[in-house]
């Protein structure tokens, strides 16, 4: 990878992280809100690294890996060359393993030139056949792959996980509430999270939820058979570890999948309330569309309307 590509990659990566965490809240589609300071710091650091690499006057413009020898006096050229020859040897072992699925085959000294009198130590693993070895990149080609997520963050961020993921995952097993349940507040309709509704239906022996009108917000996932699912995807670290909360909704026809809605209704009788046999479902009386929350991966109570 040429020096200007490295500079570009570092600066773009920094900008991408800043874009996603500082200028917008798109990072909430991928990770938890607590990651924000770390992401901003990483973005600043990456831009700083890129700027330091690009700092003019240190080396002739557009130099690449050859620049190491220009950097250091001839007296030290040998030592430096050694280091970087080796660094590159590792690098290309990777790159070749990537390209050919055979890191060990291309043994040779394809990368010795341009590195002073680096000892021919037999450690180098290069592309001895030479056909493609003419960019003496210090950084392996696999680093180019970083451009994909970086550009995607900057220009084409994917949406938060939605009904596609939710429909393929079984409903999350909610944590068992160890203590006795508190009495439910008297407000009606009662704003409640999907987690708490599930706990109340399947674990609350006092059956306080019976007959109560509840309000819950989530997005729509279609279901087999009767009704549809009101769903939330929650994450513990990043979107790779997502789990899905589902409440089956009976009554009104299903809105379009992935629409965010607030549902008002009462528990749909099925199974014994307060035990795990109870169906986590509501008979809906009203379904209203709401805006998608910026932090979609949090099981929050509906906002007051």
List the interface residues with another protein, window 53-112 (CB under 8 A).
Answer: 53, 71-73, 75-76, 79-80, 82-83, 86-87, 89-94, 96-98, 103-104
How far are the Cα atoms of 86, 96, 126, 171, 297 from residue 66, in angstroms, in the given order? 14, 21, 16, 56, 48
Give the pair of three-digit tokens for residue 199: 């706990």
Q: Is the CB of 184 or the CB of 254 nearer to another protein?
A: 254
The least distance separating another protein from the CB of residue 35, rounded to whole angstroms, comes to: 7
| 170-189: contacts with another protein (CB under 8 A) | 170
Which one among 25, 117, 121, 129 touches another protein, defined by CB under 8 A? 121
- 240 interacts with another protein by CB under 8 A: yes
The least distance separating another protein from the CB of residue 304, rounded to whole angstroms, comes to: 30
Q: What is the DSSP letter of 19?
A: I
> Do 71 and 59 touch, CB atoms closer than 8 A?
yes
Q: Is the CB of 41 or the CB of 272 nearer to another protein?
A: 41
User: How far does Cα 81 stand from its chain's mean position?
Assistant: 38
Interacting stretch for another protein, rule CB under 8 A, among 116-124, 179-187, 208-216, 262-270? 116-124
| 1-40: contacts with another protein (CB under 8 A) | 1, 6, 9-10, 13, 17, 20, 27, 29-31, 35, 38-39
Determine the 3-state secondary structure of 26 from DSSP.
helix
Q: Is the CB of 85 or the CB of 227 nearer to another protein?
A: 85
Give every CB contact of residue 77 below 8 A, 6+ residues apart in sequence: 69, 116, 117
> Do 125 and 95 touch, CB atoms closer than 8 A?
no
The least distance separating another protein from the CB of residue 292, rounded to whole angstroms, comes to: 14
| Bridge partner list, 218 | 261
Which one among 145, 188, 272, 292 touches another protein, defined by CB under 8 A? 145
> Do 109 and 128 touch, CB atoms closer than 8 A?
yes
Q: Is the CB of 99 or the CB of 301 nearer to another protein?
A: 99
> Do 53 and 7 touch, CB atoms closer than 8 A?
yes
């Amino acid at each position: 990878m040429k020096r200007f590509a490295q500079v570009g990659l570092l600066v773009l990566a920094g900008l991408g992280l800043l874009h996603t965490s500082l200028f917008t809240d798109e990072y909430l589609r991928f990770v938890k809100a607590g990651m924000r300071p770390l992401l901003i710091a990483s973005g600043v650091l990456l831009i700083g690294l890129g700027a330091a690499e690009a700092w003019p006057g240190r080396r002739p413009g557009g130099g690449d890996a050859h620049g190491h020898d220009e950097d250091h006096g001839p007296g030290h050229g040998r030592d430096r060359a050694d280091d970087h020859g080796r660094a590159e040897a590792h690098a290309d072992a990777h790159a070749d393993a990537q390209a050919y699925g055979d890191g060990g085959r291309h043994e040779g000294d394809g990368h010795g030139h341009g590195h002073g009198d680096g000892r021919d130590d037999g450690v180098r693993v290069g592309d001895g056949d030479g056909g493609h070895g003419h960019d003496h990149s210090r950084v392996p080609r696999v680093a180019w792959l970083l451009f994909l997520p970086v550009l995607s963050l900057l220009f084409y961020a994917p949406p938060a996980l939605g009904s596609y993921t939710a429909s393929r995952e079984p409903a999350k097993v909610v944590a068992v509430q160890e203590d006795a349940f508190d009495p439910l507040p008297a407000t009606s309709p009662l704003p409640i999270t999907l987690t708490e509704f599930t706990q109340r239906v399947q674990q609350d022996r006092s059956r306080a939820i019976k007959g109560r009108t509840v309000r819950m917000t989530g997005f729509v996932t279609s279901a087999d058979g009767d009704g549809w699912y009101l769903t939330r995807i929650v994450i513990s670290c990043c979107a790779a570890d997502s789990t899905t909360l589902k409440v089956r909704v009976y009554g009104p026809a299903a809105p379009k999948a992935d629409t965010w809605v607030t549902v008002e209704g009462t528990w749909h009788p099925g199974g014994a309330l307060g035990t795990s046999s109870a169906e986590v479902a509501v008979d809906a009386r009203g379904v209203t569309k709401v805006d998608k929350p910026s932090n979609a991966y949090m099981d929050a109570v509906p906002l007051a309307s």
